[in-house]
Amino acid sequence: MGHLLMVESWVGAMSTLLPRGIRDGGHRFSFLTRDVQHYLRAWNRPGSHPLLGAENVLHAETNDVASLVEHVAKLQPALGFDGVLTSCDYYLGATAHLAQRLGLPGSPPEAVARACNKDQTRLALREAGVPGPAFALADGASGLREAALALGFPLVIKPVDLCAGMFVRKVSNEAELSEAVRELEGFPVNARGQRRSGTVLLEELLTGPEVSVEAVTAHGRTTVVGVTDKSVAGESCFVETGHMFPAALDADTERAVTSVAVAAIAALGLDNTVTHTELKLTPTGPRIVEVNPRPAGNQITELIRRVTGIDLPAVHAQLALGESPRLAAEPTGAGSAAISFLLPPRTGPIDRIDGAEGIHGIDGVVDSAFKAAGHVAGPANSNNNYLGHVMTTDPAPGAARARAEAAIGSVEVVYAAGLVGA
């Protein structure tokens, strides 16, 4: 039985899925955080928080990588960690440095840095000839304006070091660009207290459906588990509204997509990791949106598990321990699985979500959750502000999405003071 050190986590579904994967593999973990209250505040379900099922809950300043590495090195003789991992993008780099310092399995820190910083990703992929959008980098307002004019509107503006679609915007003119820059400048520190980079990425606006390739790289060899599709809402914010696994692609398109994703993983130098690579299916072929060196969020890993039996959070733990995961799919009875998210129609306190209590009676629904009365809805401008979700399965490939979308469409958000959020 291996002993894993989990360095921080997300507070959503992965805070449950990763501990479950560790436990189901017969392993145990200790949890290291700079602020355990961050996780307790976010827990609104019965029972204790899954991260408190850790063998040890340890405290350290996880935002100072150099001191963190030395602190954990001093703990190692007493606690005997066999692997280090995280599910949180903001600590993937720290985890890579810890693994390297302790002589444990993991991706090279420089490869993780290339994947976690969108500017480094773009430069590395361009050098390797992996297809992506035309792009430019700038640090100031004047540089951004010049870069935008050179690329041409409309384009996409992105922070290089945030996730969940935060502050990713389509901008169609200089006024919208200036507004997007002001919003970014008003967010100098991320949600984990880390100071952000001032570099901003501008990209060509890619057109076409978006998919993601879920893969596992171990000892230099990448195995593709499958391709997931994505639905997006919002004219300018690219908020994910749902996913289906496996994506309904023809064989030629799937081969092209997976080939580009595997080339991107190799170009970044990633190894011994689960990857979630997002691509656009443009008229000229698949192009990379981003490469994430960790299991997919938004419960995509649960869709995969329900169809194939492969539990990618458990695989994530196995790789951190140096184990060789078994990646052969097994029959589950599901030909497809899908999830649809409930976006807030507007901001404000919620009185109730009508229809939520009857969701589990709908054919094919296997999981659902909705925000409770009193929750204050934020704007529908990132993946952080969902009001709920519905997950469905169907025996037929490609059929689960319609079930999930119909189920989520059957609920209605009622705001305080009796205003319906339609």
Tens of pLDDT, residue by residue over 162-172, are 998 899 999 99
Q: Flag whether 14 is in a domain.
A: yes
**Are 211 and 314 in the same domain?**
yes
User: How many domains would you assign to the chain?
Assistant: 4
**Are 156 and 236 in the same domain?**
no
Query: What CATH number is associated with residue 268?
Result: 3.30.470.20
**Looking at residue 418, what is its pLDDT?**
61
According to DSSP H, which parts of 6-157 are helical?
14-24, 37-42, 65-79, 92-102, 109-116, 118-128, 141-151
Domain boundary among 179, 204, 229: 204
From CA 166, how far away is CA 415, in angstroms rounded? 25
Domain boundary among 332, 365, 395: 332
Cβ(136)–Cβ(273) below 8 Å: no
**Are 73 and 24 in the same domain?**
yes
Question: Is 317 exposed, middle or buried, given 0-12, 13-18 or 19+ CB atoms closer than 10 A?
Answer: buried
Q: Flag whether 124 is in a domain.
A: no
pLDDT tens digits, one per residue of 17-46: 999 999 999 999 999 999 999 999 888 777
Q: Flag whether 303 is in a domain.
A: yes
Domain boundary among 332, 349, 368: 332
Q: Flag whether 270 is in a domain.
A: yes
Domain that holds residue 32: 3-104
Omega before 325 within 30 of 0, i.e. cis: no
Omega before 154 within 30 of 0, i.e. cis: yes
Instruction: Using alpha carbons, list the distances in angstroms from residue 328 to 148, 225, 234, 276.
Output: 46, 9, 37, 18
Q: Flag whether 118 is in a domain.
A: no
Q: Flag whether 89 is in a domain.
A: yes
DSSP of 217-245: EETTEEEEEEEEEEEEE-TTT-EEEEEEE
Average pLDDT over residues 108-133: 98
Range in 47-51, 114-118, 312-316 the model is least confident about: 47-51
Helix (H) or strand (E) holding 202: strand 200-204
Dihedral sign of CA atoms 112, 113, 119, 125 in order: negative
Q: Flag whether 409 is in a domain.
A: yes
pLDDT tens digits, one per residue of 233-252: 866 778 899 999 999 999 99
Per DSSP, the three-state class of 69 is helix
**Are 291 and 231 in the same domain?**
yes
From CA 215, how far away is CA 124, in angstroms rounded? 20
**Looking at residue 420, what is its pLDDT?**
62
From CA 254, how far away is CA 267, in angstroms rounded? 20
Cβ(64)–Cβ(193) below 8 Å: no
**Are 327 and 210 in the same domain?**
yes
Per DSSP, the three-state class of 389 is strand
**Are 323 and 211 in the same domain?**
yes
**Looking at residue 164, what is its pLDDT?**
83
From CA 272, how far away is CA 304, in angstroms rounded? 20
**Looking at residue 89, what is its pLDDT?**
96
From CA 151, how far away is CA 145, in angstroms rounded? 10
Question: In the predicted model, is pLDDT for residue 422 greater than 70?
Answer: no
Q: Flag whether 122 is in a domain.
A: no
**Are 38 and 61 in the same domain?**
yes
